[in-house]
Amino acid sequence: MSNSEFQKVIVRPLDEYNQRLVSYVHPPYWVNPRPVDCYDLVVIGAGTAGLVVAAGAAGLGLGLKVALIEKHLMGGDCLNVGCVPSKCVIRSARVVGEMWNARDFGVNITQHIDVDFPAVMERMRKLRAGISHHDSAERFQKLGVDVFLGNASFASNDTVLVGDKTLNFKKAVIATGARAARLSIPGIEEADYLTNETVFSLTQRPQRLAVIGGGPIGCELAQAFRRLGCEVVLFHRGSHILNKEDADAAEIVQNVFIQEGIRLVLNCQMQRVEKTIEGKKLYFSCNGREDSVTVDEILAGAGRVPNVEGLNLETVGVEYDQQRGVMVNDYLQTTNPRIYAAGDICMNWKFTHAADAAARIVIKNTLFSPFGLGRYKLSNLVMPWVTYTDPEIAHVGMYEQEAQEKGIDVNTIKIPFSSVDRAIADGEEDGFVKILHKKGSDQILGATIVARHAGEMISEVTTAIVHKIGLSKMSSVIHPYPTQAEAIKKAADAYRRTLLTPKTKRFLGLLIKFS
């Protein structure tokens, strides 16, 4: 395929950083290689799942023939429109949050905080471009992967077409990911709106921003843009934001949003949108009362749709659903035993680290499980996740309601950060560590942490669950003082104290007498 046969990609604004990004992840003068006779693996989609499968298989040093196909930007959502750009913007916003609270620490900001929004976005583009070489077509080519840019579609049970090239395969992996769902609100398409795929192309700050959706994406960006100087109104259908998270955790973040001046419209139904001279006017009803608000931009932060179109899945007998994506079993195998899937295209966990973990399962199950022996299961994964608001909410394992639905009796230990010395010194007492354990046992079933850096703390609990380390052993782990992670040890110590029954105390008393 010549460079004229695949669609060149433009990422706006056309500055030096975005041009560098594109030169790595969709080089305009790329020439697709000549296919080998047969590939051990053909991977469709070069997001996190696809990249890990391709690099992992090619990097084993076993001479495996691996092809990787991408029609848009290598690196997928995470690099281009997800984790990387959002966390760069959130980091700038956190500086503003610190300055807002500076007086509480004896530091007076004597001048108005001047947020240079174009500079914030330029910094994001610069850092994104700097990271992008890790996911570049050239790097994967050097790893021994045949990289094809273009649209892929199955032609038969063992062939994939990319432009005028035919790729024969022994096994294939679908890793085409998902995209932002389009909103069905009357008039919104005509008014135009932003998604996570377009918001990072902004170069000027919208003075008034409406965010539709109070889930993780909507909440992270609503808070970030509020701190960067936007007037933000956040619409959500539920009675409180982040309604899939622990209710106590969501309440803390919701109160922070209110304190920071985000207008929350809860129990909301969007009616229609009109484009007017004053801006984009959103009509909505809330608790039976109709109202409207006019903004400069609308950001949709609700829902994801799997990328199943154009793959010709019917030809190879791969079942899929327009909302749920490609159907897979617990081994990530589709209804065609030669074709597997990983990542957002087939999983409820739509996280980069989940796609990475699933890709490793696919490598094992496609290449090193003859006759199905020794296959890994997706259900065996212990999956943590983080909502990157300030404070963050990190969770792993079960919620209390899940345990109850499974008939498991549980106890909950909750350590507020108001009892943790480092959190007090940091002025970050509004948060907690909550650990769920099996009743009558120290087995950890789940945990939720609310803290500024909760995402950095949750891995200790995840490690404990994976390796079946109970609260008793965690109590013996020495934590540096003072750190906020000491709250985890306090939770373990709290469990240990529950073992001090009257009978145990009498026994200890005898030991004291003879010591």
Q: What is the pLDDT of residues 204-216, one digit of tens each?
A: 999 999 999 999 9
Mean pLDDT calculated for residue range 258-270: 97
| CB neighbours of residue 45 within 10 Å | 30
Q: Within a domain: residue 385?
A: no
User: What pLDDT does residue 6 have?
Assistant: 64
Q: Within a domain: residue 28?
A: yes
Angle CA(237)–CA(238)–CA(244) in degrees, nearest 5?
125
pLDDT category at 87 given cuts 50, 70, 90 is very high
Going by the annotation, the residues of the binding site for NAD(+) are: 213-220, 303
DSSP three-state, residue 82: coil
Which residues sit opposite 295 in a β-bridge?
A: 280
Say whether both 291 and 424 belong to one domain: no
DSSP three-state, residue 7: coil
Q: What is the pTM of this model?
A: 0.95
| Pairing of β 39-44 and β 165-174 | parallel
Say whether both 87 and 72 belong to one domain: no
Say whether both 174 and 298 belong to one domain: no
Are 392 and 249 contacting, i.e. CB atoms less than 8 angstroms apart? no
What strands lie across the sheet with 392-397, from one edge to the other?
Answer: 385-387, 392-397, 444-451, 432-438, 410-416
Report, in angstroms and rounded to the nearest whole number, the Rg of the chain calculated over CA atoms: 25
pLDDT tens for 337-374 read: 999 999 999 999 999 999 999 999 999 999 999 999 99
Question: What's the chain's average pLDDT?
Answer: 96
Share of the chain above pLDDT 70, in %: 98
DSSP three-state, residue 125: helix
Say whether both 263 and 238 belong to one domain: yes
Listed residues 302, 332, 365: the one ending a domain: 302
pLDDT category at 3 given cuts 50, 70, 90 is very low
Alpha carbon separation from 118 to 209, 228, 391, 490 (Å, rounded): 16, 11, 25, 44
Going by the annotation, the residues of the binding site are: 87, 213-220, 303, 344
Element containing residue 160 per DSSP (H, E): strand 159-162
Say whether both 142 and 234 belong to one domain: no
pLDDT tens for 180-208 read: 999 999 999 999 999 999 999 999 999 99
pLDDT category at 5 given cuts 50, 70, 90 is low
Say whether both 100 and 73 belong to one domain: no
Q: Within a domain: residue 255?
A: yes
Say whether both 172 and 27 belong to one domain: yes
For position 429, which CATH number holds? 3.30.390.30
Domain that holds residue 99: 83-123
User: What pLDDT does residue 220 have?
Assistant: 98
Checking if the pLDDT of 26 tops 60, the result is: yes
Share of the chain above pLDDT 90, in %: 93
Mean pLDDT calculated for residue range 448-470: 98
Say whether both 44 and 150 belong to one domain: yes
Q: Within a domain: residue 437?
A: yes
pLDDT category at 95 given cuts 50, 70, 90 is very high
Checking if the pLDDT of 301 tops 80, the result is: yes
User: What pLDDT does residue 379 have?
Assistant: 97
For position 137, which CATH number holds? 3.50.50.60
Listed residues 259, 284, 302: the one ending a domain: 302
Checking if the pLDDT of 2 tops 50, the result is: no
* Token pair of 169 as six digits: 């395969």
Distance, CA of 207 to CA of 446 (rounded, Å): 41
User: What pLDDT does residue 302 have?
Assistant: 79
Q: What residues have CB less than 8 Å from 125, skipping those under 6 apart?
A: 15, 17, 18, 21, 85, 200
Question: What sign for the dihedral angle of Cα 315, 319, 325, 327?
Answer: negative
Q: What residues have CB less than 8 Å from 108, skipping those under 6 apart?
A: 102
Q: Within a domain: residue 73?
A: yes
* Token pair of 508 as six digits: 């200890």
Q: Within a domain: residue 384?
A: no
Q: Within a domain: residue 512?
A: no
Say whether both 104 and 233 belong to one domain: no
Listed residues 314, 343, 376: the one ending a domain: 376
pLDDT tens for 409-442 read: 999 999 999 999 999 999 999 999 999 999 999 9
Say whether both 229 and 295 belong to one domain: yes
| Pairing of β 208-212 and β 297-300 | parallel
Going by the annotation, the residues of the binding site for FAD are: 87, 344
Checking if the pLDDT of 103 tops 50, the result is: yes
Alpha carbon separation from 112 to 108, 200, 229 (Å, rounded): 11, 26, 12
Mean pLDDT calculated for residue range 267-296: 96
Q: Within a domain: residue 417?
A: yes
Say whether both 167 and 203 belong to one domain: no
- Indicate the number of domains in the chain: 4
Alpha carbon separation from 333 to 171, 339, 365, 377 (Å, rounded): 11, 6, 9, 10
pLDDT category at 4 given cuts 50, 70, 90 is very low
Say whether both 424 and 483 belong to one domain: yes
User: What pLDDT does residue 1 have?
Assistant: 40
Are 65 and 40 contacting, i.e. CB atoms less than 8 angstroms apart? yes
